[in-house]
Amino acid sequence: MDEHLNNDKIKPLRIGIAGLGTVGAALVLMLEKNAKQIQRKHGRMVKVVAVCARSRSRDRGIDISGFAWHDDPVALAKDENVDLFVELIGGEDGPALASVKAALEAGKPVVTANKALLAKHGVDLAALAEKSGVHMGFEAAVAGGIPVIKTLREGLGAASVTRVYGILNGTCNYILTRMGNEDISFADCLKDAQALGYAEADPTFDVEGFDTAHKLAILTSLCFQCKIAADEVFVEGITAITQEDIKVAAELGYAIKLLGIAKRSEKGIEQRVHPTFVPASSAVARVDNVLNAIILETDHVSELMLSGPGAGGSATAASVLADILDIARGQIIPPLGMPTAELSDYKRAPMQSHKGGYYIRLDVLDVPGALAAITSRLGENNISLESVIQRPDIDIDASGISNSSEAGKTRTLVLITQDTLEASLRKALDQVADDGHTIGAPQVIRIESF
């Protein structure tokens, strides 16, 4: 047995890569540049032997002539000359799913950067990896170059996570940072992000919060030893954030960040993604531009923060390489931190039970008694106000009577609540809408005191 293991150490680890985009090309370059160092440090040569991509002739800045070419990623996964399959195709189904399953069923370890695939099929794929006795690595699937998966699977010892939260999408963080530093709109920031390559031509997946939700669902499973439940994440994006919201936040000592937050309580697990007021003095508020940050709160360590690049070819490829090197050393651990048979079923805590402070922006009709009626509805639902803010263009007196004689005019009213149940707040705002004193949907942003 020992002799067999020693022989395996001598044999090169032969890699097959499906997907030669920015990350795949960066990975090939890293493996070539560091080949001697990797062999010296890990006692085994690691080399790419086969690849698969949409186009064979595309210029990627790398030489692929020495690699076996496959048009079909499933054929690559089954190639007898490939020991480890790297999936960088993307997508939750289709070729990505088929090729990963093929590799695992053939008894080959897999490394993937595919968060959508894991969010939907992660538990089944982890079970298949366990059945085949191989490792499945996915460090690059969450927060790019930040080693949070390894930290959760191996680095916390006996510590139990009580809450995980963070900035998990660089596109949204870039946009909110620019809006906070410059007097420009969401739409203009998005155009700049697209021009710089930070946002896709169709940015919906990023700016509506779905990318963050997929990553949060994976983190939740690892933190709380439960099955991945991406469909159970409450999701709000950043498209409705305005300069009005940004300016009020700054005046009150806050920054706005799109956060993914997961917390376990006696009622279950709460997973939510939404714009959040965070204290400007907090560590997470100072994570700007395309950087990501993940904060783990545990029973042993009050707060552990990991921060770094959340995307980009080199950062993501570095995480893929870290998984490859773990496999080269012979590491086999349950992909989700514990055997899938021992993962608990996901129990969702009701979102409406969330308690905290809220920022509310309302477009109020400029009619007598409007402000008084709104504050009365809040009081009826046991909601106390921290402050009522009328912007410079607002002209409503304390009784709710406007000094403007222009009929039908609306005014912007900002309310900051003390801690209150979300269910109470939603009920009060529904009543305000029914009273007919406001126009359009209210802007509601949660306030967190990290």
Domain CATH for 413: 3.30.70.260
Do 88 and 193 sit in the same domain of this protein? no
Do 119 and 230 sit in the same domain of this protein? no
Residue type, 347: K
State the pLDDT confidence band at 115, using cuts at 50, 70 and 90: very high
pLDDT higher than threshold 60 for residue 413: yes
Among residues 238, 444, 229, 266, the alpha carbon closest in space to that of 350 is found at 266
| Residue that terminates a domain, selected from 77, 107, 141 | 141
Do 113 and 153 sit in the same domain of this protein? no
Q: Are 175 and 323 in contact (CB under 8 A)?
A: no
Interstrand relation of 420-421 and 355-365 (parallel, antiparallel or unpaired): antiparallel
Predicted local distance difference test score (pLDDT) of residue 411 = 86
Do 20 and 89 sit in the same domain of this protein? yes
Burial of 219 (0-12, 13-18, 19+ CB in 10 A): buried
Do 133 and 178 sit in the same domain of this protein? no
Asked if residue 44 is part of any domain, the answer here is: yes
State the pLDDT confidence band at 399, using cuts at 50, 70 and 90: very low
| Residue that terminates a domain, selected from 141, 167, 191 | 141
Which two tokens mark 158?
A: 């006996």
Least confident piece of the model among 35-49, 82-96, 383-397: 383-397
Do 186 and 61 sit in the same domain of this protein? no
Predicted local distance difference test score (pLDDT) of residue 408 = 55
Q: Rounded mean pLDDT of 232-240?
A: 96
pLDDT higher than threshold 60 for residue 6: no
- Residue 353 is given by DSSP the state G
Interstrand relation of 291-298 and 304-309 (parallel, antiparallel or unpaired): antiparallel
Domain CATH for 195: 3.30.360.10
Do 408 and 271 sit in the same domain of this protein? no
State the pLDDT confidence band at 2, using cuts at 50, 70 and 90: very low
User: E-strand spans in 252-290?
Assistant: 254-265, 268-279
Taken in order 311, 312, 316, 318, is the CA torsion positive or negative? Answer: negative
Do 64 and 180 sit in the same domain of this protein? no
Predicted local distance difference test score (pLDDT) of residue 262 = 96
pLDDT tens digits along 180-193: 999 899 999 999 98
Q: Are 47 and 15 in contact (CB under 8 A)?
A: yes
Do 27 and 129 sit in the same domain of this protein? yes
State the pLDDT confidence band at 430, using cuts at 50, 70 and 90: very high
191 catalytic? Reply is no
Which two tokens mark 316?
A: 């993501």
Predicted local distance difference test score (pLDDT) of residue 159 = 81
Q: Rounded mean pLDDT of 260-285?
A: 94
| Residue that terminates a domain, selected from 309, 343, 374 | 309
State the pLDDT confidence band at 89, using cuts at 50, 70 and 90: very high
Of residues 115, 215, 227, 257, which has the active-site annotation? 215
Terminal CA-CA length for the chain: 52
pLDDT higher than threshold 50 for residue 449: yes
Do 159 and 89 sit in the same domain of this protein? no
Average pLDDT of the residues of the chain: 90
pTM (2 decimals)? 0.90
Interstrand relation of 46-52 and 68-70 (parallel, antiparallel or unpaired): parallel
Token match 């000094």: residue? 403
Instruction: Using alpha carbons only, give the angle 243, 248, 249 rounded to the nearest 5 degrees.
Output: 95
Predicted local distance difference test score (pLDDT) of residue 353 = 63
Which two tokens mark 237?
A: 């994006």
Predicted local distance difference test score (pLDDT) of residue 14 = 96
Do 185 and 291 sit in the same domain of this protein? yes
Do 113 and 157 sit in the same domain of this protein? no
Among residues 163, 187, 385, the alpha carbon closest in space to that of 260 is found at 163
**Residues spanned by the domain of 6:** 2-141
Asked if residue 322 is part of any domain, the answer here is: no
| Domain count along the chain | 3
State the pLDDT confidence band at 351, using cuts at 50, 70 and 90: low
